[in-house]
Copies of this chain bind each other. A is one copy, B any other.
Amino acid sequence: MMQIEECLKKIGDDIWFTEVDRNNLKIDYRIKEIIYQGNSPIQQIMILDSYDFGPMLVLDDAIQTTSNDGYIYNEMIAHVPLNIHPNPKNVLIIGGGDCGAAREVTKYPNVERIDMVEIDEMVVQTCRKYLPKVSGKLSDPRVNFIFEDGTAFVKEQRDYLYDVVIIDSSDPVGPAVKLFELEFYKDIYSNLREDGLMVCQSESPIFYSEMMVKIHKNLNSLFPIVKTYMATVPTYPGGFWTFTMGSKKYWKPNPEKFDKDTKYINKEILESCFILPKFIEKLLDDN
64-81 of chain A: CB within 8 A of chain B: 69, 72
Complex contact B269–A275 (CB within 8 A) = yes
Q: Is A36 an interface residue (CB 8 A)?
A: no
Complex contact B264–A269 (CB within 8 A) = no
Q: Is A181 an interface residue (CB 8 A)?
A: no
How many angstroms from the CA of A281 to the CA of B272 in the assembled complex? 15
Q: Is A233 an interface residue (CB 8 A)?
A: yes
Residue of B nearest to A240 (CB): B232
How many angstroms from the CA of A28 to the CA of B28 in the assembled complex? 8
Pick from A18-26, A91-99, A170-178, A190-198 the stretch touching chain B. Answer: A18-26
Complex contact A207–B52 (CB within 8 A) = yes
Q: Is A86 an interface residue (CB 8 A)?
A: no
Q: Is A27 an interface residue (CB 8 A)?
A: yes
Query: Which of B24, B262, B277 is within 8 Å of A52, CB to CB?
Result: B24
Copies in the complex: 2
Q: Is A183 an interface residue (CB 8 A)?
A: no
How many angstroms from the CA of A272 to the CA of B271 in the assembled complex? 9
Query: Which of B206, B207, B236, B277 is within 8 Å of A269, CB to CB?
Result: B277
How many angstroms from the CA of A236 to the CA of B262 in the assembled complex? 25
Q: A207-B52, A239-B233, A265-B278 are in contact. Are A27 and B27 (CB under 8 A)?
A: yes
As a 0/1 sequence over residues 36 to 64 of chain A, the CB contacts with chain B under 8 angstroms (1 = contact) are: 00000000000000111000000000000
Chain B residues, CB < 8 A from A279: 263-264
Binding site for B on A (CB under 8 A): 16, 23-30, 50-52, 69, 72, 206-207, 232-234, 236-240, 262-266, 268-269, 272, 275, 277-279, 281
Beyond contacts A238-B239, A263-B278, A269-B277: 15 other A-B pairs, Cβ-Cβ < 8 A, are A16-B26, A25-B52, A26-B27, A26-B28, A206-B234, A232-B232, A232-B239, A234-B237, A234-B238, A262-B278, A263-B277, A264-B277, A264-B278, A265-B277, A265-B278
